């Protein structure tokens, strides 16, 4: 391990939290075991290895076939910062010249890419709204500015959750004779989304965006060095697992 790697360890603010908590273990023996368990728990959820392990055990492999021209590519909602649009609703210049997306925007970019490249005939979007701000309208405007034609972008219905999207796509596909579908969403969300679509009788190919590909060349030690954003990754994994379980209990999977 070189000096640069050593510095990256010691400038990590979370490292000193663990050191401080470890020191607190020793004054009172009665609390030592419980406090030690808390320290271990927080360490486990804050290292990249944990989120990497959860993501890899939960993800499903892409079935996208580049030799196929899909009737439609379905991009699931959740990629626009609707709160930002709502807060700037009266700033017409800002809304006209700027877009504000979440990290999930990669799914929209991939959807546009597949249509522009000729791998899909149309882009299907669900209309998710917060305080009259419509995510599908934002995505459509963005896609048009990326070069898609008006007739290449379709909005299949109002959605609030992934189950709504599966039901809406099924109805739209039946009405318009759509057979080959490519489903695009984030890697962590794909397993739950695909299960919901299959429950509706749809069998789309899948392409995951926002994937996590660790760089092993930088050193395995990084997987065990606490990071301030990995607990959030673990939370996302738990959210998907809990969502899957809830839909399973309600019979929607």
Cα(143)–Cα(79) distance, integer angstroms: 13
Which structure tokens are listed for 180? 């080959």
Strand partners, 123: 73, 153
Residue ranges of alpha helices (H) inside 77-217 are 82-87, 92-97, 105-116, 135-145, 162-176, 187-199
Domain count, the chain: 2
Q: For the domain that residue 89 is a member of, what is the CATH number?
A: 3.40.50.620
Q: What is the pLDDT of residues 46-86, one digit of tens each?
A: 888 888 888 888 999 999 999 999 999 999 999 988 887 77
Do both 110 and 13 map to the same domain?
A: no
Of the CA atoms within 13 Å of residue 112, those in its CB half-sphere come to 17
Do both 137 and 114 map to the same domain?
A: yes
Do both 46 and 130 map to the same domain?
A: no
Q: What is the pLDDT of residues 243-253, one digit of tens each?
A: 888 888 888 88
Residue ranges of alpha helices (H) inside 46-91 are 48-58, 82-87
Cα(26)–Cα(146) distance, integer angstroms: 61
pLDDT of residue 229: 77
Q: What is the pLDDT of residues 22-38, one digit of tens each?
A: 766 666 655 667 677 77
Whether pLDDT at 184 is above 70: yes
Q: Report the number of secondary-structure helices (H) and strands (E) in the chain.
A: 11, 7
Q: What is the pLDDT of residues 200-231, one digit of tens each?
A: 999 999 999 977 666 656 667 778 888 777 77
Do both 16 and 50 map to the same domain?
A: yes
pLDDT of residue 207: 97
What is the span of the domain harbouring residue 106? 72-209
Strand partners, 133: 130
Do both 80 and 191 map to the same domain?
A: yes
Query: What is the reported pTM?
Result: 0.82
Task: Identify the CA nearest to 8 among candidates 230, 224, 229.
Answer: 224
171-176: average pLDDT: 96
Q: What is the pLDDT of residues 98-147, one digit of tens each?
A: 788 888 899 999 999 999 999 999 999 999 988 888 999 999 999 999 99
Q: How confident is the model at residue 7 (pLDDT cuts 50, 70, 90)?
A: very low
Proportion of the chain above pLDDT 70, given as a percent: 81
Do both 116 and 226 map to the same domain?
A: no
pLDDT of residue 164: 95
């Amino acid at each position: 391990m070189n000096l640069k790697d050593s510095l990256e360890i010691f400038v990590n603010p979370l490292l000193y939290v663990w050191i401080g908590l470890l020191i607190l273990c020793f004054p009172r023996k009665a609390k030592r075991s419980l406090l030690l368990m808390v320290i271990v728990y927080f360490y486990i959820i804050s290292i990249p290895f944990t989120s990497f392990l959860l993501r890899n055990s939960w993800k499903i492999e892409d079935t996208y076939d580049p030799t196929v021209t899909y009737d439609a590519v379905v991009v699931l909602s959740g990629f626009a910062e609707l709160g930002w649009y709502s807060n700037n609703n009266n700033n017409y210049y800002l809304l006209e010249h700027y877009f504000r997306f979440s990290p999930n925007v990669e799914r929209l970019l991939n959807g546009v890419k597949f249509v522009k490249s000729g791998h899909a005939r149309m882009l299907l979007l669900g209309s998710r709204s917060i305080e009259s701000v419509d995510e599908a309208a934002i995505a459509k405007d963005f896609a048009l500015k990326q070069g898609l034609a008006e007739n290449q972008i379709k909005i299949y219905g109002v959605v609030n959750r992934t189950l709504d999207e599966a039901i809406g796509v099924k109805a739209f596909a039946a009405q318009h004779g759509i057979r080959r579908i490519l489903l695009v969403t984030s890697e962590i969300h794909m397993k739950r989304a695909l299960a919901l679509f299959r429950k509706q009788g749809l069998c789309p190919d899948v392409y995951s965006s926002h994937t996590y590909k660790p760089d092993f060349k930088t050193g395995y030690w990084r997987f065990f060095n606490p990071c301030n954003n990995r607990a959030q990754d673990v939370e996302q994994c738990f959210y998907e697992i809990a969502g899957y379980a809830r839909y399973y209990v309600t019979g929607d999977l």
